[in-house]
Every structure is written in structure tokens, then in C-alpha cells.
Structure 1
């Protein structure tokens, strides 16, 4: 961290190297570059020769304010193949093609970008983009596993339209979301990605229980805290499954998103995803009750008649269920408690009743926590520990949660790490 601060101090701005490999998604890196420069980062773009077939050097130079080259032989007296990596606070490669990942994993140094990757002693982030078959090939999976074992953050590609008519996993994540990962990695400085090889499951948002085709019982949860947990976990190296209920938010980079609506659907998705998870964080606001019956047509208001009372039944208690029946030994379960009064007393009671390892307790209301960008909380632990989190950005609370989860995870390789080279496992 001190070295990073010293490097940034020379210009007053964090130094970022943006590597661009030769894929059709190279044009999207322009948006990532713009986000980085507009937020005060000093960005040097290092493309491959192939990348310049998609976006020319003049564009990169104009947007970054630095000369652009792919060669180790230009400005030899400045030793660019060494100095660029040495001076960086972060190296991010977007897009990272299958070829670039292979060369990086095997330590090749046949152009300026791969030389930079070998000399960098700062955090490195790869944002892969390629066809699904290339991403799923055992060679690519092994290269990804190798880079992750060495401490690089290799975020999962998105699912969507690829080149031509093809659709599948391999799309470059939204540049805005890649920027969020970079920002969080930079904030952690030289800290190792401590969730590498771990699979974490996070629920977010609020369930909706339908009354009829147009009405439902719901709550005020926006899903922002769950998304902050997902982004932070991805930046710390985890494979993340985010189960979102009615948020309408953009998918975080490097995160597998499962969309649900009701509490019953959420339970099904959580149980399925938790089967091989190292940690499960239940940040979603799950409805305690649902209507006993569903009206196939819109419930009409009738003149002179009072509405028929809505009979409710209990929804499954997902947090208590997964806490009592852990899907695998050592699985860490985290719950959330939204309280309006006697916050800590109710939180401690809920922690004992639910049986989870950690419980994040916060006070909620119409203008508190739900929908806000900031929050404050106390994280209660089953072993009696209490960790207050002062009022601040929700990502700060998210980092605190992972700080508490990480040391509770069993030592040794996780199921995710052991299957990294084989997507069929």
C-alpha cells in the first residue's frame, strides 16, 4: 500500500495501465478509459497489435493523453517494457482474449503488454471476452485457474449476444461495472484477493407476493446492499452467484445473476446455488407471508362493499433452513435483520433463532437504509462478537462483512478452486 501511495504521489493520481487485447469488444474499453480518466486516474493504454485492428492508436492516445505503442523497441532509453509495469498501481486488461490469457498464464513476453504484466507488482484484473466455446475450453479454464492462483482477479464474462448470431457466456461485462471492480481493487491496495477460489451466494432485493395479475405484497428493499456485496466479493476474487429479486439494476461485472420474483422462487434458487457454496449471504428482504390464494383476474372494487380480507400464509424461512442444514461442511451463513425498534435486542434474538454465523443488524424506515446509498449497522456473530459499522457507503459495510467471513472459511482449496479447470464439474 505504501508503494502504491508513493507511485500515485508523483503525479497526485493513481496510475492505471489499461491493456487492450485483440477482440471485437475492444471498442468498449474506450468507455472504461473515459470512466477512469474522469475520476482522476492517470491511465496509460497498452494495446496489442491485434487490438489496433479494432481501435486505432490515435483514439487511445487522444483519450488517455499518453502516447500509445505495442512495441518494446520504441523509446528504448526509457525501458518502457519494465517502467510501465513498475510504476502502475493497477493493471486491467479489457478485453482479455483467450490468447492473451494463455500468454499471461505462461509468462510469455512477446509484446509490450505481456512485458508489462510480467513486471507489474500491483493488482492485476483481467476482464475476459470471447466466444462461449473458447471460454469453456479446458485450456482456457486452466489458464484462468493459474492466473487466479497467482493472485490476479479474473472476472467472469457476462452472458449475452456475442459476434454474429451467437449468444452465450463470453460477453465483456458492462464497462461501468468493470470500472467498479477496478475502483474496489484499487481501494484495497496491495491486499491479496482473499476470496479467490471461493464460491459465494448472495441474495438481493425484495420479494413480491402476487395478489392478482396487477397487485402484489412487497417491501422497500432496493437491492443496493446485495449488489455492493456482490461487487466487493468479485473484486476480492470470488466466484459470485447473485440471486436478485425485483431490483432492475445492471448486472455487476463478473457475477452470475439469477432472477426471481417470490419468496418460494428465491428459496429454490438459493438452495440450488448453495450446494457448492463456501458462503451464503442472505441480504434480500424476503416476505414473511404470502396470500393464501391468487386471483386469476384483477380484484375489482365494488360500490358499497368493503374489500374481502386477504388471508395470508407463512413463507419458508430460508435463512433458518440453510443455517440448520448446511450444504457442505464449514459453509458460512450470513443473515440480515432490518429492525425498526429495539434494534440490537431484536437482532440478538434473531441471531439465536436463525442459527446463522453472522447477522447484519440495521435500523430501517421510510428514509433509512432502504434505497439509500449509505448505511450503518452492527454485525453480530454467533460467538458473541459485535462489529459496529459507522454510517457510510454500502460497499464499506460489504467489505466489513467479507472481512468477517474470510477468516471463518475452512482452510484449503474450495470446491470452486478444485473445479476451475473443468467447467463440467
Structure 2
């Protein structure tokens, strides 16, 4: 069994000489009582020196308890820097998609490592993390990073995952856990009306270059904008959509893959949750999509440039989508292709869809996620439910009264 003990350094001549010199120089003598122990690997370790024996005995008891309970941590293990552990953690993440791996890489390099890389794990505390979270949200003019709530939460999540990976071998608890985080502001969501969606689709379809030529994707822009706004497909899912996955007779789209850019290259990967899903297509979109799928090979991409190349978000958004905002009268709203998912959710909810339907349509992992993001769009249905319950009660009371009048018990 691993054991700990107290050694009296007074037995050593070198210690007695050190005490004498300290007294002559009017300095505090070194501690007399040395706590030593064997760690679980059988290596001899020191747990520090103490002036008073009761303090040494307390430390001895702590060491013995941790060894016996299996909660022992080598103090040196927490001295490793966060940067070293972050690199080990990222190298070990073979369980995630390549695009997710690069997302973590970017968050580490841009926001996490500049603040925490050189600090030992033992020097990272919850209050310091809370201050860092606040600084991420400050404007650049105030010396902050100018991040929104979502990006701030993403940066904190990566920090927390690395620290959590170090528990319990190197640190007892994760100091990032429980730190207050900003909630996604409703202002970050943009909900377009049917009229605004149509205006955006028309503007995107009519884009011209400075040479008065049709833009590279103008031929598919209208259908693409409508699909994003009425089905809630993610950009990568729409860009990777192939003809064989579109059934306009049943008005269904099967989402099985998504595009992601990794080191400048497009790669196909499973959808964000890792699960395929089926998405309904409004009947009015059949005529919009039909020219893009009819008579084409099943493995052909539905949406491409005029030259038949896949659409890339880094090109399509600034050159096509953003240029359509002004003529559509939608400048200044902070609208992005991804935020058309919010429009799809809001229109579906307004049309009477319940949370499970919206969850399935958007491909959220859980209904809780859907409620967290769009729960505020359902409050008016409380009155609807109350009205239905009231009607049923009145109907029941009327029935009871009728039976009583007819002499029924």
C-alpha cells in the first residue's frame, strides 16, 4: 500500500547548518518537518516542508487519504501549460468531422490560446475565465474581440472541453464549468416575411456583373434562396444536394450529406448532427426546382455556377447573396444565408408546426435545442390551447345538462 510519512530534518547536518546560517543572517529558518510518500507508481515524492509538526501531520493525512481513495493527483501534473494540453486534446479528437476539427483549431488559435496558452493548468481560475468571456464581447474600440453571443459561447466551449479533458488526472475540477455565458440575442435572429423572401429571391435572380452579364449563380439563386427560406436547409446541405435526393412528386428532399471547406477544399461529410433527415418541400417550390432536376443525372449537384462548379459559401455569399440585399430592401438587418433557417422556423411555427416538426425539419439534435432557439415564437398558441380546452369543457357541460333533463342519472 502506498504510504506517507514525516521526516525530521533535524537529523541531517546539512539542515542544522542551514538553520544556523539563517539565524545568523536573521532570516526565517527552513521548515523542519518534511512530508514524503510513494505515489501510485512507486516513485518517492515530497509534499513539502513545514515549520510546525501539526501542519505536516495534516498534510500527511491528506496525502494518505487521496492515495487510499484513488483521488491522488501528482502536483506536477497541473504545472503543464494549457497550450500543451490543448494541442494534445485536439490531436486526440479523431471522433469529429474534419470541418469541426478545423473549427476548433481556428477558435483555439484566434481566441483561446492567445489568452491561456502559457498558463499552467493550476493557474486557470473561474473568475479569470469570466473576465475573459466578458472581454470577448467588448467592442474592438474598447479593447475586446467584438464577438457576438454565439461565437463567445463557441470559444468558451473549446476552452471548457480542453480543461474538462484534464479532469481528474491533472486538475480536480473544470474551472470553466458554470461560468456565466451570454444568451443568444433575439437581435441575432432575422425573421423575414413571405414578401421579403420573394423580394430577396427576385433580386438574387436578377444580379448582373459590372459588365452587365448575369452573375455566376443567378440562374440558380432564386430557387436556392427559396429553398433555404422555406425548408431550413443549412448552406452546406443545400450546396451538396444532388438530383437523386429530390423527389418532387412526393415533395420531399433527403438530406444525407453536406459540404464543408477544409483547408480551401470542399469535402462531403454527414449533416451536422450526423443523421440524415427528410425535409418537406412546399408545393409552390416544385415549379422552381423542377428545371434544376428534370432530366439530369441523379449524382449531379442541383445548385452550381454557370460553369457547372459547386457553390462555395465564401464566394456565393459576398458576390451573390450580399449583393441582392440592397435591391431587395434588406440592407442593415445582418441577414446571412444561415439566418434564412430562422425564417424557415418562424414561418413553420406561424403555420402551426409543433416543436417536434420544426426539430425534424431543421435537423436539430433535440427538441430542447429547438425550444431554446425558437421557443419565444410559440407564446400566442397558449391562447389557442386555452380556447380549445374551453370549447371542450362547454361541450361537456352541455352534454351533461342534456342528459339530466332527459332523466338520465
When the two structures are superposed, what TM-score results if normalisation uses the length of structure 1? 0.24
Larger radius of gyration: 2
- The answer to which structure has the higher helix fraction is 2
- The answer to which structure has the higher strand fraction is 1
